[in-house]
């Protein structure tokens, strides 16, 4: 169809108004007197309206990654966002390699390829490549991962690899310290001290040595009530927030809960669930999260997996991103898992405004 310049202008104006309306409804927030952002009033109704509109236009941003992926570890390195997931879609989670995805706006993601191929790189495991975690120290990227239910560590000079096995054997051998030794999550505190959280069936934390590839002690039991797996640590202000997943990853009731403490070693009493299924929207098994905290901004994003839509299950999962807000008392507003995801790109820079609606999917 051919447009005249006037019709073309009217069409552009209409599109701009529609984008503006969707953006206003979706990202409705109210500045809190303390400078924190809290969700705007009646956001549930506003979101429901936007859900319908977005679905009608077929512009869902969730899932953010193509294909089946799970256990996403999000990171920001040098103005680029990365997600390190488990490659999903295999019976009994039999995947053999890890890939990484990158983005400059949290909405559009590019597969950067395989970063660690177990049969090629490891001498001690060939499959069950699960739930990687990433840390950067002294210009070296450390990839902690589960392989054959032991925890390994690999290093690279680049966030996109290739990663090389740092030890030639597991960092933590299979089924030790009373837990299934999977789901490693590295955390470097402001004082430079590094910790590794891990475990399914129980939560453990241990300090890492300065070299990042050896343990500086014996793992400590920090299992909170309801814990199953998927440990995550976030520091906000002086408070340590510990997140974990509850129930079995093959259950629609797989969900994320959290607790907080004044030490990275806990104790972390369970405060409550902050991410769970929404069967009315067909969103099930929302769990194994990580959190993106934008530097210099009190702005947070929940990155998690759910059963793929349509037809997913515990072996066919997909990765999503939704906004996460804190209350003024430091508790967390339950995250609303959405079909539409983020509708505006997010700038990684603390000095720039978020990328405009033009990057909306």
Q: Which of residues 192-221 bind ligand FUB (CB under 6 A)?
A: none
Query: Which of 177, 168, 274 is closest to 221 using CA atoms?
Result: 177
The whole-angstrom separation of Cα 88 and Cα 128 is 10
Residue 85 near residue 321 (C-beta atoms within 8 A): no
- Give least dist CB 308 to ligand FUB, A: 13
Active site residue 71: yes
Q: Which of 107, 125, 182, 196 binds ligand FUB (CB under 6 A)?
A: 182
Count of chain residues binding ligand FUB (CB under 6 A): 13
| DSSP labels, 174-193 | TT-TTSB----EEEE-TTS-
Residue 47 or 242: which CB sits closer to ligand FUB? 242
Backbone angles phi, psi at 292, to 5 degrees: -100, 120
Residue 82 or 130: which CB sits closer to ligand FUB? 130
Angle formed at CA 263 by CA 36 and CA 132, multiple of 5 degrees: 85
Q: Which of 47, 83, 172, 229 binds ligand FUB (CB under 6 A)?
A: 229
222 belongs to the binding site for ligand FUB (CB under 6 A): no
- Give least dist CB 68 to ligand FUB, A: 10
3-state helix, strand, coil in the chain (%, to 5): 15, 40, 45
Q: Which of 223, 249, 340, 360 binds ligand FUB (CB under 6 A)?
A: 249
Backbone region of residue 113 per phi and psi (left: phi > 0; alpha: psi in -120 to 50; beta: other values)? left
- Give least dist CB 79 to ligand FUB, A: 29
Site string for ligand FUB, 11-40 (x = CB under 6 A): ------------------------------
Q: Which of 27, 98, 99, 288 binds ligand FUB (CB under 6 A)?
A: 288
243 belongs to the binding site for ligand FUB (CB under 6 A): no
Tokens of 190: 């402001």
Q: Which of 81, 93, 187, 240 binds ligand FUB (CB under 6 A)?
A: 93
318 belongs to the binding site for ligand FUB (CB under 6 A): no
Tokens of 230: 């998927």
Q: Is the dihedral of CA 299, 360, 245, 72 positive or negative?
A: negative
86 belongs to the binding site for ligand FUB (CB under 6 A): yes
The whole-angstrom separation of Cα 40 and Cα 305 is 26
Active site residue 229: yes
183 belongs to the binding site for ligand FUB (CB under 6 A): yes
Site string for ligand FUB, 126-165 (x = CB under 6 A): ----xx--------------x-------------------
Angle formed at CA 106 by CA 101 and CA 108, multiple of 5 degrees: 65
70 belongs to the binding site for ligand FUB (CB under 6 A): yes
> CB neighbours (10 Å) of residue 89?
18
The whole-angstrom separation of Cα 252 and Cα 292 is 24
End-to-end C-alpha distance for the chain, whole angstroms? 24
Which residues are CB-neighbours of 216 under 8 A, at least 6 positions away?
206, 207, 208, 209
From 88, 121, 229, 318, the catalytic residue: 229
Residue 12 or 250: which CB sits closer to ligand FUB? 250
In angstroms and rounded to an integer, the radius of gyration of the C-alpha atoms of the chain is: 21
- Give least dist CB 71 to ligand FUB, A: 5
Q: Which of 170, 199, 230, 264 binds ligand FUB (CB under 6 A)?
A: 230
The set of catalytic residues is: 71, 229
Q: Which residue ranges make up the site for ligand FUB (CB under 6 A)?
A: 70-71, 86, 93, 130-131, 146, 182-183, 229-230, 249, 288
């Amino acid at each position: 169809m051919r447009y005249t310049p006037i019709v073309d202008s009217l069409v552009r104006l209409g599109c701009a108004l529609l984008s503006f309306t969707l953006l206003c409804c979706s990202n409705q927030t109210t500045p809190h007197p303390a400078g924190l952002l809290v969700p705007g009033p009646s956001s549930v109704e506003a979101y429901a309206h936007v859900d319908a509109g977005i679905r009608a236009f077929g512009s869902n941003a969730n899932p953010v990654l193509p294909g089946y992926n799970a256990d996403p570890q999000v990171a920001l390195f040098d103005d680029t966002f990365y997600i390190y997931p488990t490659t999903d879609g295999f019976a009994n989670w039999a995947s053999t390699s890890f890939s990484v995805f990158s983005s400059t706006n949290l909405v559009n993601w590019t597969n950067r390829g395989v970063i660690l191929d177990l049969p090629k790189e490891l001498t001690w495991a060939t499959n069950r490549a699960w739930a990687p975690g990433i840390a950067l120290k002294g210009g070296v990227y450390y990839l902690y991962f589960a392989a054959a239910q032991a925890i390994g560590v690999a290093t690279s000079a680049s966030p996109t690899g290739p990663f090389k096995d740092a030890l030639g054997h597991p960092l933590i051998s299979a089924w030790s310290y009373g837990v299934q030794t999977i789901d490693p999550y590295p955390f470097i505190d402001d004082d430079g001290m590094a910790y590794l959280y891990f475990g399914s069936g129980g939560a453990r934390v241990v300090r890492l040595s300065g070299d990042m590839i050896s343990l500086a002690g014996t793992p400590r039991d920090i299992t909170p009530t309801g814990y199953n797996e998927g440990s995550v640590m976030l520091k906000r202000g002086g408070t340590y927030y510990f997140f974990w997943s509850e129930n079995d990853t093959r259950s629609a009731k797989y969900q994320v809960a959290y607790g907080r403490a004044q030490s990275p070693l806990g104790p972390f009493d369970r405060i409550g669930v902050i991410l769970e299924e929404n069967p009315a929207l067909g969103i099930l098994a929302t769990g194994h999260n990580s959190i993106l905290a934008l530097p210099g901004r009190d702005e947070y994003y929940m990155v998690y997996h759910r059963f793929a839509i349509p037809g997913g299950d515990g072996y066919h999962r997909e990765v999503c991103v939704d906004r996460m807000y804190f209350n003024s008392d430091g508790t967390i507003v339950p995250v609303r898992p959405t079909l539409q995801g983020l509708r505006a790109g997010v700038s990684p820079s603390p000095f720039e405004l978020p990328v405009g609606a033009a990057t909306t999917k």
